[in-house]
A and B are shown apart, each in its own frame.
Chain A
Amino acid sequence: MKYIDEFRDGDVARGIAARIRAEAQPERRYSLMEFCGGHTHAISRYGIKDLLPPNVEMIHGPGCPVCVLPIGRIDNAIALGRDHGAIVCTYADTMRVPASDGLSLMKAKARGADIRMVYSAADAIRIAQENPAKPVVFFAIGFETTTPPTAIVIRQAKALGLTNFSVFCNHVLTPAAITHILESPEVRELGIVPLDGFIGPAHVSTVIGSQPYEYFAEEYQRPVVIAGFEPLDVMQAILMLVRQLNDGRAEVENEFTRAVTRQGNEKAKSLVAEVFELRPSFEWRGLGEVPYSALRIKPEYAEFDAERRFGITYRSVPDNKACECGAILRGVKKPVDCKLFGTVCTPENPMGSCMVSSEGACAAHYSYGRFKDIEVRAA
Chain B
Amino acid sequence: MTKVRSDYIRPVDFKNGRVDMTHGGGGRAMAQLIEELFARAFANEWLAQGNDNALFSVPGGRMVMATDSHVVSPLEFPGGDIGCLAVHGTINDVAMSGAHPLYLAAGFILEEGFPLASLKRIVESMAAAARDAGVPIVTGDTKVVEQGKGDGVFITTTGIGVVPPGVEISGDRARPGDAVLVSGTIGDHGVAIMSLRENLTFETTIRSDTAALHGLVASMVASVPTIRCLRDPTRGGLGTTLNEFARQSGVGMLIHEAKIPVRAEVSAACEFLGLDPLYVANEGKLIAICSPEDAPRLLDTMRAHPQGTDAAIIGEVVADSHCFVQMETSFGGRRVVDWLTGEQLPRIC
Interface centre among B252, B258, B268, B335 (most CB of A within 10 A): B335
A374: interface (CB < 8 Å): yes
Q: Which residues of A contact B51 (CB under 8 A)?
A: none
Cβ of A366 under 8 Å from chain B: yes
Report B-chain residues with C-beta under 8 Å of the C-beta of A9: 331
**Cβ contact within 8 Å between A348 and B342:** yes
- Knowing A1-B264, A368-B335, A368-B338, the reply to whether A47 touches B329 (Cβ < 8 A) is yes
Q: Are A374 and B267 in contact (CB under 8 A)?
A: no
The answer to whether residues A379 and B316 also contact, given A1-B264, A48-B331 and a CB cut-off of 8 A, is yes
Which partner residue on chain A sits nearest B274 by CB separation? A358
Listed stretches B13-21, B53-61, B126-134, B319-327; interface member: B319-327
- Counting chain A CB atoms within 10 Å of each CB, the highest count among B322, B326, B332, B338 belongs to B332
In the complex, the answer to whether B338 meets A50 with C-beta atoms within 8 Å is no
Query: Are A4 and B271 in contact, CB atoms less than 8 angstroms apart?
Result: yes
Does A51 sit at the interface, judged by CB under 8 A? yes
A-B contact count (CB 8 A): 88
Which residue of chain A lies nearest to B258 when distances are taken between CB atoms in the complex? A10
B342 contacts A13, CB within 8 Å? no
Q: Are B318 and A369 in contact (CB under 8 A)?
A: no
Chain B neighbourhood of A10, CB < 8 A:
258, 329-332
Give Cα A44 to B199, complex, Å. 30
Q: A347-B341, A377-B319, A379-B319 are in contact. Are A47 and B334 (CB under 8 A)?
A: yes
Whether A243 sits at the interface, judged by CB under 8 Å, is no
Contacts of B331 in A (CB 8 A): 8-10, 13, 46-48, 51, 231
| B199 lies within 8 A of A366 (CB) | no
Cross-chain contact B341 with A371 (CB below 8 angstroms)? no
Find out whether the CB atom of A123 lies under 8 angstroms from the CB atom of B199: yes
B317: Cβ under 8 A from any A Cβ: yes
What is the total number of residues of chain B having a CB less than 8 Å from a CB of chain A? 32
Contact of A96 among B252, B268, B319, B342 (CB under 8 A): B342
A4 to B270, CA, bound (A): 12
Interface residue B1 (Cβ < 8 Å from any Cβ of A)? no
With a cutoff of 8 Å between Cβ atoms, the chain A residues found around residue B316 in the complex are 379
Let me know if A377 and B332 touch, CB within 8 A: no
Asked whether A367 lies within 8 Å of B338 as measured between CB atoms, the reply is yes
Contact between chains at A368 and B324 (CB < 8 Å): no
In the complex with contacts A378-B318, A379-B176, A49-B333 CB distance below 8 A: yes
For residue A17, which residues in chain B have a CB less than 8 angstroms away from its CB?
A: 332
Contact B335–A46 (Cβ < 8 Å):
yes
**Complex interface bits, B47-87 against A, C-beta within 8 A gives 1, otherwise 0:** 00000000000000000000000000000000000000000
- For chain B residues 247-306, which have a beta carbon within 8 Å of chain A? 252, 254, 258, 264, 267-268, 271, 273
Q: A377 contacts B333, CB within 8 Å?
A: no
In the assembled complex, how far is the CB of residue A263 from the closest CB belonging to chain B, in whole angstroms? Answer: 27
Question: Does B200 reach chain A (CB closer than 8 Å)?
Answer: yes
Query: Which residue from chain A places its CB closest to the CB of B334 in the assembled complex?
Result: A47
Count A-side interface residues using an 8 Å CB cutoff: 37
Given contacts A1-B271, A47-B329, A119-B199, contact A376 B252 (CB under 8 A): yes
A378 touches B319 (CB 8 A): yes
- Given A347-B341, A348-B342, A378-B318, check contact A51 B333 (CB 8 Å): yes
Measured between beta carbons, the chain B residues less than 8 angstroms from A51 are 331-333
Report if B177 contacts A (CB, 8 A). Answer: yes
Which of B176, B177, B333 is within 8 Å of A46, CB to CB?
Answer: B333
A297 to chain B, nearest CB (A): 24
B322, A374: Cβ atoms under 8 Å?
yes
B336 lies within 8 A of chain A by Cβ: yes
Quick one: CB contact mask for A297-336 with B, threshold 8 Å, 1 for yes?
0000000000000000000000000000000000000000
Q: How far is the CA of A173 from the CA of B72 in the complex (A)?
A: 41
Please indicate the chain B residues that have their CB under 8 angstroms from the CB of A259 in the complex: none
- A14 CB-CB contact with B under 8 Å: yes
Contacts of A155 in B (CB 8 A): none
User: Which B residues are within 8 Å of any A CB, using their own CB?
Assistant: 176-177, 199-200, 252, 254, 258, 264, 267-268, 271, 273, 316-322, 324, 326, 329-336, 338, 341-342
Q: Would you mind naming 23 contact pairs between A and B with Cβ atoms under 8 Å apart? A: A1-B267, A4-B267, A10-B258, A10-B332, A13-B332, A14-B332, A45-B335, A46-B331, A46-B333, A47-B329, A47-B333, A47-B335, A48-B333, A49-B333, A118-B199, A347-B338, A348-B341, A367-B336, A368-B338, A376-B326, A377-B319, A377-B320, A379-B317
Known: A1-B268, A51-B332. 13 other contacts (CB 8 A): A1-B264, A1-B271, A9-B331, A45-B335, A48-B333, A118-B199, A123-B199, A348-B342, A366-B338, A367-B336, A371-B326, A374-B322, A379-B316
Complex A-B, nearest 7 residue pairs according to Cβ-Cβ distance, in ascending order: A47-B333, A347-B341, A379-B318, A50-B333, A368-B335, A46-B331, A10-B332
